[in-house]
Amino acid sequence: MTGDKALALVTGANKGIGKETARQLARCGLAVLLGSRDPDRGRDAALDLAGDGVEVTPVQLDVTDMASVTTLEKRLRADHGRLDVLVNNAGVFVGASAAGTTAAHMRSVFETNVFGVVTLIHTLLPLLGQARAPRIVNVSSTTGSLALTAGGAGIPGDDSRRMAYCAAKAAVNMLTIHYAKAFAADPGLAHIKINSATPGYTATDMNDFQGTRTVAEAARVIVGLATLPDDGPSGGFFSDQGPVAW
């Protein structure tokens, strides 16, 4: 399937920012696996992209289901022997006030947004290590910035109901820092670059399409980090305007 093309996997890619990221990566010349928890929605998304002249391959992937992740890892190992790009985009949002947020709310959000990231990286790391210039992009959020939140920055959206989501994205940022340090210290993994990306306040179903940015604008930073040159950064947090405060 890939030939000489770099192989990219985008999780949660049957709609929104994930789907647009898959589109843009394919147009950059990568062979793209469009990950979707629901295989029918994944196929529909791939067909929709095909109608625009963009070829991607839908794959069933539930980042919260180890069996699903393992099945995909075996397929990648058998068919390709490597993975060049991993975009950890799959995410969920549970809206509740800080006082009303329960441990169950937190577990639900962290299961996908944090533990799913760890599961994918841990499982696919050997395949990423086999690539010449592997890239990992963790899709975060400006709302996950401790510095901006504590400093009272005017981050768009309803900040009264997003504590679980913000906490999960802050955790993703911490994962990015620690993975980057660990990779840099390991000669077998030092060629892997990993960064966090914030798409900005984007119009998706997660915010009832109240966002002010398009998915095309949102995907730009993700694609840029997924296709970094060898002298590009690792262990950073970026928007399409540049570095973001942790």
d(CA 59, CA 7): 13
Contacts of 197 (CB under 8 A, 6+ apart): 137, 138, 139, 140, 221, 222, 225, 237, 238, 239
Active-site annotation holder among 93, 110, 165, 237: 165
3-state class (DSSP) for residue 182: helix
The distance in angstroms from the start CA to the end CA of the chain is 39
Active site includes 165? Answer: yes
CA-CA-CA-CA torsion sign (2, 120, 205, 140):
negative
* Cα–Cα distances in angstroms (integers) from residue 143 to residues 139, 160, 197, 204, 212, in the given order: 12, 12, 12, 16, 15
Query: Where in the sequence numbering do the catalytic residues fall?
Result: 165
